[in-house]
Chains A and B, each alone.
Chain A
Amino acid sequence: MTGPAVQVIARARGRETARVRVVSAGLALAVLGVFTAGIAYGDFTIGVPDLLGSLVGSAPGPVEFVVHRLRLPRALTGLLVGFAFGLAGAIFQRLLRNPLASPDVIGVTSGASAIAMLSILVLGATGAVVSFAALLGAVLAASVIYLLSWRGGISGYRLVLIGIGIGAALTSIVSFLLTRAGINEAARALVWLTGSLYGSSWERIVPLVAFLVVLVPAAFLVSRMLPGLQLGDDQARGLGLPVERARLGLLLTGVALAGVATASAGPVAFVAFVSGPIAARLVGGARAALLPSALVGALVTLTADFVAQHLFGGQQFPVGVVTGVVGAPYLLWLLAMTNRAGRGG
C-alpha cells in the first residue's frame, strides 16, 4: 500500500476515534447530571451544598439517611445495571452482526426470567434467592443454547436461531406460570418481570460491583477481537484470530453482564436492545462502539427511573415501565432523522 492511502485510512480512523471520545464524554456528563438529579430531587429535596456535604459525611442527619440509605443505592444500582445491559447488548449485537440480536431476543434474559419466575411463583422466594435464580437461569440458558449450536464449531446464524427458539419456549413457560399463580403472586412477579430498582440496597450493590469490576475490563479486552470477527469466520481465521475462543469469550462476558444486571434489577425492559442502535447513530459509525452503548444504557436507565419516580404524580412505577418510553421514541426519532446513506441502514 502506498503512503497517501495509509494516511487517508489513518485520518479516517482518527476521526472515528475522536468522535467516539466526544460522544462518550458528552454521554458521561449527561449520566452524571441525571445521577445527581436522582439523588437530589424528591419529596425531600436536597440542595447542592448538603449533597456534597453528605458525600464527605458532614451533612445533617436526615439528609445523611435519605442520601445514603435510600437514594444513593438506588441511583448507583440504576447506573451499574444500565451500564451492564448496554454493554451486553452491544457485544451481542456486534458479535452476531444483527441489531435485533440483543440478550433479550436470543433467550438469555428469558432463561433468567423463567428460573426467577419458578422461584417466585412456585417456591415463594424473595430477594437474594430470586437474584441468584435469575443469574443461574441466564447462565443455564446461555450454556444450553451454546451447546446446542455447537456443530464442529459455532455459526452465528445457528446460534441466533437456536437462541430465539429456546427463548420462545422459555417465554411461554413464564406466561404459563403467570396463569397458574394466584393473582397477587402474579402481580408481584409482574413487577420483577418489568424490572425495578425497588430492592436496591448496599448489601445488594456489593456483589454487583464485585462482578462488574471483573466483567467490564474483561468485556473491553475481549471486544478488541470484534472488528476481526466481523469480517466473517474465514477471513478472521485468515488473519490468525482464534475464532472459536474469541467468540466464546465474548459470549461469556455478554451473558455474565446481562445475567448479573438481571439478577440485580430484573430484566429491565429493552435497555440492552436500544442502547446499541442509539449509540451507533450518535457516533455515526455503522456499528455501535461499546463504551457509548454502555453509557447510553446507564443514561436510559437513570432517566427512566427518574421519570418513573417523579413524573406520574403520586403513582410510582418500576423503572422497566419507562425504559421503553424513554429509549424507544428516541431511537425512532434517530431512525427518522438519519437519512444519510450508510447510517440509517
Chain B
Amino acid sequence: MSTVEAATRIPGRRRPALVASLFGLGALLALVVLLSIVVGTKGLPLGTVLDALLRFDPANPDHLIVRQLRVPRTVAGLLVGAALGLAGTVIQGVTRNPLADPGILGINAGAALCVVLGISVFGIASLSGYVWFGLAGAAIAAVLVYAVGSLGRGGATPLKLALAGAALTAALGSFTNAILLTDTVAFDQFRFWQVGALTGRDATIVAQGLPFLLAGVALALGLGRVLNGLSLGADVARAWGQNVVANRIVSAVAVVVLCGAATAMAGPIGFLGLTVPHIARMITGPDYRWILPYAMVLAPILLLVADVLGRIVARPAEVQAGIVTAVIGAPVFVALVRRRKLATL
C-alpha cells in the first residue's frame, strides 16, 4: 500500500446511501434464503414449498423434506455465514492485518484437532457428537494464543497475536496430521468435515449452535467503535479513552464464540471470514460501525448462494458449500480487489 493510495482512499459514503444499500442487501439475502429452501435434489414446485412452510402436513413426504432438511440447512447457512463474516471483520480489525482470518487465532486448527481426537480416540461418529469437540478446541486454542501473545511488556500487540496464532496453528496442525496419518478410519471421516459443508445439518445441530451464535452476533455488532479505535493503533485507541486490553479480550471472546460454533457446525469454511470484510470495506469505507453489519449480511448471501449452486451443478450429487464458496468467491473477490481503490485497515 503506497502513501499515494492511502491518501486517495475512498471516503465512507454518506449515511442514507449506506442504510439504503444495507436494506437492499437484506432483501437480496431474503431472496437467497427462499431460493435455498426451494432448490434441491428433489425438484419441488414453489406451491408445495410454500404449503410446507405455511400449512405443514406431517404426512406429506415433500413437506417433510422442506421442514426437516431444507429449512434447518438454510438456517445453518444463515447463522454460519453471519458468524464467519463478523468474526473475520473483528479479527482483522484487532490484529490490523488484512491477512488475518478467523483461523489465525488458531481457532480452526484447535477445532480440527479436537474433532479428530473425538473421532479417533473417543470413537464418535455423528456430526452432532463432535460439534462440542470443535467448540472446545476452538476455545482452548484461542485462550492459548492470547496468553502467549500477551506475554512480554507490549501486551497482546497485533503482530504478536497474529504470529502466535499462526505458530499455534502450525503446531496443532502437526498433531492433527500425525493422527490422520496413523488412523485411516478417522481420516476417512475427517476429510468430509474438513471441506466445510451444510449437507445434513439438521435441526439438532442448529439448536446446539444457536445460543452461541446469537450471543456472538450481539457481542460483535456492538464492537464497531472499539474496532475503529483498535484498528488505528493502541495509542489512538487509548487517546480516545478506550481500555485497549479489555477491548482486545472482548473482541477475542466474540471471535472464539462465533467462529468456534460456526466451525463446529459446518467445518472450517475459510474463505468467508478472510474475504467478506474486504468486500464490505470496499462498499463502506473504513468505519467498522458500517463494516460489521455489511459483513454480517454479505457473508450468508455468499454462503447460501454457494450451497444452492453446489446442489445444482452436480445433480444428484452435491458439491460442498465450502468448496463452491472458494471457487466462485475467489474470482469475485479478485475482480473487486482489482476494480476498487483499496481501503486499507
B195 engages A172 (CB within 8 Å): yes
Known: A101-B99, A344-B152. Is A335-B170 also a contact (CB below 8 A)? no
**A residues near B, CB below 8 A?**
98-101, 105, 148-149, 151, 155-158, 160-162, 164-166, 168-169, 171-173, 175-176, 178-179, 183, 186-187, 190-191, 194, 232-234, 269-270, 273-274, 277, 315, 317-318, 320-325, 327-329, 331-332, 335-341, 344-345
Interface of chain B, main secondary structure: helix
List chain B residues, Cβ under 8 A from A158: 337-338, 342
Chain B residue at minimum C-beta to C-beta distance from A330:
B167
- Chain B residues with a Cβ closer than 8 Å to the other chain, count: 65
Given contacts A165-B275, A176-B320, A329-B171, 11 further A-B contacts (CB under 8 A): A105-B99, A155-B2, A162-B337, A166-B330, A169-B326, A179-B192, A270-B170, A322-B174, A323-B170, A324-B171, A324-B172
A172 engages B270 (CB within 8 Å): yes
B2 engages A233 (CB within 8 Å): yes
Tally the A-B contacts, defined by beta carbons under 8 Å.
198
A161 engages B342 (CB within 8 Å): yes
A335 engages B184 (CB within 8 Å): no
Known: A165-B275, A345-B159. Is A172-B323 also a contact (CB below 8 A)? yes
A160, A176, A233, A341: which contacts B98 (Cβ < 8 A)? A160
Interface centre among A187, A234, A328, by most B CB within 10 Å?
Answer: A328
B180 engages A190 (CB within 8 Å): yes
A232 engages B2 (CB within 8 Å): yes
A339 engages B163 (CB within 8 Å): no
A162, A178, A317: which contacts B181 (Cβ < 8 A)? A317
- Lowest 10 A-B CB distances belong to which pairs? A345-B159, A324-B174, A339-B152, A169-B330, A328-B171, A172-B326, A324-B170, A270-B170, A328-B170, A336-B151
Chain A residue at minimum C-beta to C-beta distance from B330:
A169
B334 engages A166 (CB within 8 Å): yes
- A125–B175 alpha-carbon span in the complex (Å): 28
- B83 → chain A, closest Cβ, in Å? 18
B3 engages A232 (CB within 8 Å): yes
B3, B99, B271, B274: which contacts A98 (Cβ < 8 A)? B99
- Does B160 interact with chain A (Cβ within 8 Å)? yes
